[in-house]
């Protein structure tokens, strides 16, 4: 099984009402065969549930960055985000992914909050 690599830079801005809430999506791809190590998810599996948490650069959990719960479809995790109460900075988003075969995988990516 390969490692998860986020495919883009996720940035939140404060001060522009059109940008106050963003939906970010992460696609977790399945390995091409049972012996391949070319993607994140083991061959033949799908994600059953996804739990997201966010942590600031100081290690403190941040809940104000999330708007509602996450959604999951076809191994794509979607989440609405907003500029956090904690202010500008780099936030680590942790994914706890439970697969249909019971395995639990963890992944992480970064979300950046910037002033306009």
Q: Which two tokens stand for residue 60?
A: 């403190």
* Half-sphere exposure of residue 60: CA atoms within 13 angstroms, side-chain side: 10
Residue 89 domain-assigned (yes or no): yes
pTM listed for this prediction: 0.89
Residue 1 domain-assigned (yes or no): no
Contacts of residue 110, defined as CB under 8 A and 6 or more positions apart, other chains included, come to: 6, 9, 10, 90, 91, 92, 93
Residue 4 domain-assigned (yes or no): no
Given a contact cutoff of 8 angstroms between Cβ atoms, the answer to whether 74 and 38 are in contact is: no
Domain that holds residue 45: 10-115
Tens of each residue's pLDDT in the chain, 116 residues: 556 666 678 999 886 565 578 999 999 999 999 999 999 999 999 999 999 999 999 999 999 999 999 999 999 999 999 999 999 999 999 999 999 999 999 999 999 999 87
């Amino acid at each position: 099984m390969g490692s998860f690599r986020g495919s883009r830079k996720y940035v939140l801005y404060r001060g522009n009402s059109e940008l106050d809430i963003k939906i970010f999506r992460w696609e977790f791809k399945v390995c091409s065969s049972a012996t391949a190590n070319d993607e994140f998810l083991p061959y033949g599996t799908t994600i059953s549930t996804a739990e997201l948490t966010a942590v600031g650069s100081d290690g403190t959990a941040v809940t104000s960055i999330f708007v509602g719960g996450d959604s999951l479809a076809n191994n794509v995790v979607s989440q609405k985000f907003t500029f956090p109460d904690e202010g500008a900075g780099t936030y680590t988003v942790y994914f706890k992914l439970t697969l249909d075969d019971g395995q639990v995988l963890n992944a992480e990516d970064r979300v950046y909050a910037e002033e306009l």
